[in-house]
A and B are shown apart, each in its own frame.
Chain A
Amino acid sequence: MGMKGGGGGGGMGSACYVYPGTPATPGRVTPDVTFRRGIYMNGSMTFDDGNSVPIWGFTDLDAGQGQMDGMGGGSFPSPAIRVTEGQIVHTELTVGMMWMHTIHHHGIEPSTENDGVGHLSWDVTGGTYTYQWQPKHAGTYFYHCHTNTPLHAEMGMYGGLIVDPKPTPGDPAGTKRAFYNGPIYDAEAIWVADEIDPAFHSLPWYAGTCGGDVGLNNLNPQYFIITGVDGANSALTHPGVAVTMPLGQTLLARYICAGFHPQKIDFGGLTVSVVASDGRPLPAAWQTQAIEAHSAERYDCIIKPTSRGTWTVTVQFLHWRTGAVMGTARTRINVI
């Protein structure tokens, strides 16, 4: 049978079809860069209407965040992982014995052991596993938990993952490119568009794993967010989401479709040049004013406004069956 449980203690409950493990990393070497992640299961997000939902995520242990923070959780989205192509990276994940989680670096393609898929390797619990990987392609990725994923990703267990290119020879120091020898940009936005169904946010981490209908087939979102900020109003002006840039600069907008339903992002009349998707340069840039995307797709958009002004970027969230617009999230590009 698949009944495994895993650890004990309050909140553990019983989980099925989980594969606890924290083995040594095969072929472990000294890395070029290390990210030390814990988890939090007690965060929250407050929306523009005053309501809030519980949020889970990953913490940055090196920044003093806890591995099971009891005081209100960590940031949402989880702290970004930013590396340079060719670096050997360690992502250390520490999880208490009461829970199980993994980190899957979405779009990064490492060995089975380092892919963070519980049933093909292990779910981390009661210790630390170090994911070892070496990104070969610059671009936009994200990382997320791959344990009981319909719940854990919806709860917020994701963060941005950016692979910067190696410097292009001859570039002045500080030059930023989307990929090796790719377009140069000055300003950057990371727009992680996601939808939230509060009904999911009261479930325990193992919900549904032993059977029973806990509604994980039916995501009915009520809130629509960009990079952890309510897209109803707050994201229009939130400095971590909305962009303010001088005329003449070039913006790289990294759009990550982090929800489970399809989306359509519209740039408010601006024409963008899509130069890469899913961490791979396109053979030729694609000029467009809107992008239709589905869960986990990423599009890297170069935007070079030719006049001062304000453009409203709108993400529509489309029901996966009916195609109906369930809600929108908006932010702005202000060119000054």
Chain B
Amino acid sequence: MERRGFLKAGTAGFASLMAGTGLLSWSPRSQAATISKTYYVTAGTQTMPDGVSVYVKGFSDSAADLNVPATPIICQEGDTLSITVINRLSVTHNLVIGGLKAGDPPLASTGDIAAGGSKTLTYTIPTGKAGSYLFYDNKTSYNVLLGLHGGLAIMPAGKTDELYSGSPKFKENKQLFWIFNDIDPVLNRAVQQGTAIPTNLTPRYFTINGQTSLPPGAVGFDDPTRDAMANPMTKLEGLVGDRTLVRMLNAGMCSHAVHTHANHMEWLTDRGTVRPQVWKKDTLYLRNHLGKIDAIFPFEAPPDAYPPVTHGHFPMHLHDEMSQTAGGGMYMFGAMTEIIYK
């Protein structure tokens, strides 16, 4: 049993996410810097849209927080990351930064962190590592599914508007993460109770940046602390021309089809590898087992409107529609967010 630090997700800690624009804000530096961050491994429960409480773990901002996913880190090539992880739980954990490309070894790892202990990971980022990363716990195959994950954005040195040096450009400070997860409470309960870990999982909840969408009329609708359609960390909001970089990371167990309405996306990378050409896609195949995609949502006027429009509300949803449900029903309570043309 893991009872230490039993918390409610999505309460404290969210304030820090709400600071600023909600997007990943970034000012380039001519000098490399040391980026220091401390995460606390905490556990508690998160209430799903059907009222079911699910045991989750997070890399949290304080011992009193439970953040799923972790507060993201943004830095640039040449910086030194100094990430301290304090394990508040009663089993061993770790934090690894996944490799840039599929099959690459992790960039860095804390190594095992015993119950109650702490470790600091120090890593100086070489040139050529600009991109999007998932950091997560790989002490077990399932810790990442419990919520122990977060996004790391490494910018090319001195750049504000490129994914990698020379990439298609997005608008300064218009970038965010979409981190997807799939939850089968049977797994979470087994971890909580210390019973045998099931292998044949059937996810029942589907999240984007730790939340589900909540449609009009639902409790919590339009509340950014609860509704993925309203969360400024997640929703795409802009004016025509606000080209936005979306860093998609799959922490979950299922492959997903990421579908935007209103515009096709410019597909830049798949699993860390730069695509040989930029394809324009309304649906992107985001692989499971830590798959990732970088794409630019161009925020052009929706091309097929008549009369033409420059304002509107549209969804981004996963097209593997099982992911748009909660607890086996409740369509629209899944991994979806909103695209808003202001």
Residues of A within 8 A of B (CB): 1-4, 16-17, 19, 26-27, 29, 88, 105-112, 114-115, 117, 119-120, 132-137, 148-151, 153-154, 207-219, 260-262, 277-280, 282-284, 292-297, 320-321, 323
User: B223 at the A/B interface (Cβ < 8 Å)?
Assistant: no
Nearest CB in chain B to that of A284: its residue: B277
* A150 with B314, Cβ < 8 A, contacts A278-B264, A321-B253 known: no
0/1 interface trace, chain B 305-333, chain A, CB 8 Å (1 if under): 11101001111000111111101111110
With both chains docked as a complex, state the minimum distance between the C-beta of B47 and any C-beta of chain A, in angstroms. 14
Assembly CA distance A284 to B259 (angstroms): 23
Partner of A120, one of B182, B315, B325, B331: B315
Name the B residues within 8 Å of A294 (CB-CB): 255-257, 283, 285-286, 319-320
Name the A residues within 8 Å of B312 (CB-CB): 111-112
Partner of B330, one of A26, A112, A211: A211
Partner of B307, one of A27, A109, A115, A295: A27
User: B302 at the A/B interface (Cβ < 8 Å)?
Assistant: yes
With both chains docked as a complex, state the minimum distance between the C-beta of B287 and any C-beta of chain A, in angstroms. 9
User: B278 at the A/B interface (Cβ < 8 Å)?
Assistant: yes
Assembly CA distance A109 to B53 (angstroms): 38
Of A119, A120, A150, A284, which is in contact with the most chain B CB atoms at under 10 Å from its CB?
A: A119
Partner of B328, one of A88, A119, A215: A215
Residues 149-206 of B contacting A (Cβ, < 8 Å): 182, 201-204, 206
Assembly CA distance A320 to B201 (angstroms): 12
Assembly CA distance A260 to B324 (angstroms): 11
Q: List 5 A-B contacts (CB under 8 A).
A: A107-B283, A119-B216, A218-B202, A294-B286, A296-B282
With both chains docked as a complex, state the minimum distance between the C-beta of B198 and any C-beta of chain A, in angstroms. 13
Name the A residues within 8 Å of B324 (CB-CB): 149-150
0/1 interface trace, chain B 234-277, chain A, CB 8 Å (1 if under): 00000000000000000001111101011110000000000001
Of B218, B255, B313, which is in contact with the most chain A CB atoms at under 10 Å from its CB?
A: B255
Assembly CA distance A292 to B313 (angstroms): 31
Q: Is the CB of B327 within 8 A of A213?
A: yes
Partner of B321, one of A27, A137, A150, A211: A150
Name the A residues within 8 Å of B288 (CB-CB): 320-321, 323
* A119 with B304, Cβ < 8 A, contacts A112-B313, A214-B329, A284-B277 known: no
Name the A residues within 8 Å of B257 (CB-CB): 262, 294-297
Assembly CA distance A219 to B203 (angstroms): 11
For the residues of A in contact with B, the DSSP-based class is: loop
Name the B residues within 8 Å of A110 (CB-CB): 302, 304-306
- In the complex, how many residues of chain B place their beta carbon closer than 8 angstroms to a beta carbon of chain A? 56
Name the A residues within 8 Å of B216 (CB-CB): 2, 17, 19, 119
Q: Is the CB of A135 within 8 A of B281?
A: no
Q: Is the CB of A277 within 8 A of B281?
A: yes
Name the B residues within 8 Å of A278 (CB-CB): 264, 280-283
Q: Is the CB of A119 within 8 A of B305?
A: no
Q: Is the CB of B281 within 8 A of A153?
A: no
* A212 with B329, Cβ < 8 A, contacts A110-B304, A296-B259, A320-B320 known: yes
Given contacts A112-B313, A211-B329, A321-B255, 15 further A-B contacts (CB under 8 A): A26-B307, A109-B263, A110-B306, A111-B309, A133-B305, A137-B303, A208-B331, A211-B50, A214-B328, A216-B321, A216-B331, A217-B325, A280-B281, A283-B278, A323-B288
* A213 with B329, Cβ < 8 A, contacts A278-B281, A294-B256 known: yes
User: B215 at the A/B interface (Cβ < 8 Å)?
Assistant: yes
Nearest CB in chain B to that of A135: its residue: B304
With both chains docked as a complex, state the minimum distance between the C-beta of B148 and any C-beta of chain A, in angstroms. 19
